[in-house]
Amino acid sequence: MRSLAEHLQVVMSRVRPLEPLALPLLDANGCVVAVDVTAPSNIPAFHSASRAGYAARSGDIAMASPTSVLSLREFPAGSALAPGSLIRVGVGDPLPYGADCVLPLENTDQGAPVVRVGRAVAAGQNIALAGSQVKSGTTLLSLGQVLGSREIALLAAIGVGKVPAYPRPRIAVITTGSELVDTGRLRGAPTGGRKPDVNGVALACAVVEVGAMSYRVGPVADDPALLRKILDDQLGRADMVVTTGGIGDGADDVLRPVLATMGTVDFARVALEPGRVQGTGSLGTSNVPLIALPGEPTAAFVGFELFVRPVIRRLMGHGDVFGMRQQVTLTESVTVDPQNTRIVAVKLDAERATPIGTGIRALTRADALAVIPPGPVDYDSGDVVTAALVSAL
């Protein structure tokens, strides 16, 4: 039997980041930069107005005041600024040759063609010098940085239309089991051994939360030929396949033998509660990564957080694939399994962790998953354990 750490090492050793692509800015939102990005030019590229008004020579208006109003002639945009003249400019407009300041509109009567000026401004006021925000050659984004709206705005400002980044992985989520029914097709409470396909909708949403693209397939009946066809179809578009159910040793666990014929897939008993049986490997000639999770919804969720989420983050090029972990103090005792690591849903109050039970309801209320290692004695209130923050996973 593998320990949790040993199985996680096996899982992570089989994946590497996807090949970077030159992504259009809108497609790159949420992706990871694959190279350092430097500014090809200054920002601003030229001396410009930082507020609307009139480009002026500060010496021409130095004596203007409410009691000493000056009259200057307005020249059209595109003209050189002659002594004793003004040119109307908007925010971001290039500063005309000869201007050394921008006179705000409220300092004038905005007359035309003669403008009356009732207040002076100093040289350099209300202008943005070329390169004052970013100088050419400056490193703007670093390898491994996540692109958000602000980073994309910066790229747009320097005229970059595409950025080298790791693309979003395409994850196929396949749920198996003849007893499963799509929740949208159930009328009333499940009967006759039927069960709603909880894992299909939950894991497809979890994939999107990580930042990848999800393709939900299923529920698929326990038919080996059908399972193989569906898996073959997904290998043509998926960067990773996640399955749930059908990986035990029972006669009705048909997914396990199907996977064994399609690639190098390793099924192992892991010292983990919930989720003692786990599968990992690759499928097809392209060696598409596969993680096979148990069918029980709580075990599937735990397996996703422990194994699938870090693999997706590795495919996306993240340096830190495991999310936020912190040491927490238990507020009550927890029974320790002498052989298995227990995953316990907890509520957090600062660094204090309170167990809140098992099942899907507990998971929806949890702030974190506490990792309780196997040991000879139970954990007591006040003992310290590691917890993975659900909100930051």
| pLDDT tens track for 279-333 | 999 999 999 999 999 999 999 999 999 999 999 999 999 999 987 889 999 999 9
Is residue 320 included in any domain, yes or no? no
Nearest to 290 by CA among 314, 277, 308: 308
- Residues 223 and 246 grouped into a single domain: yes
CATH number at residue 33: 3.90.105.10
Is residue 333 included in any domain, yes or no? yes
Q: Which of 143, 166, 189 delimits the end of a domain? A: 166
Q: Which domain holds residue 368?
A: 325-392
Question: What integer pLDDT is reported at residue 303 of this predicted model?
Answer: 95
Report residues of the chain scoring pLDDT below 50.
393
CATH number at residue 105: 2.170.190.11
pTM for the model: 0.84
138: exposed, middle or buried (C-beta count within 10 Å: 0-12, 13-18, 19+)? middle
- Residues 359 and 282 grouped into a single domain: no
Alpha-carbon distance of 309 to 291, in angstroms, equals: 11
- Residues 91 and 192 grouped into a single domain: no
Question: What integer pLDDT is reported at residue 189 of this predicted model?
Answer: 61
Q: Which of 315, 346, 368 delimits the end of a domain? A: 315
Number of helices followed by number of strands (H, E) in the chain? 9, 26
CATH number at residue 280: 3.40.980.10
Q: Which of 120, 143, 166 delimits the end of a domain? A: 166
Mean pLDDT of the chain: 92
Going by the DSSP 8-state scheme, the letter that residue 52 receives in this structure is S
Split into its structural domains, the chain has a count of 4
Under a CB-based contact definition with an 8 Å cutoff, are residues 166 and 317 in contact?
Answer: yes
Is residue 348 included in any domain, yes or no? yes
CATH number at residue 371: 2.40.340.10
- Residues 177 and 66 grouped into a single domain: no
Count of CB atoms situated within 10 Å of the CB of 294:
23
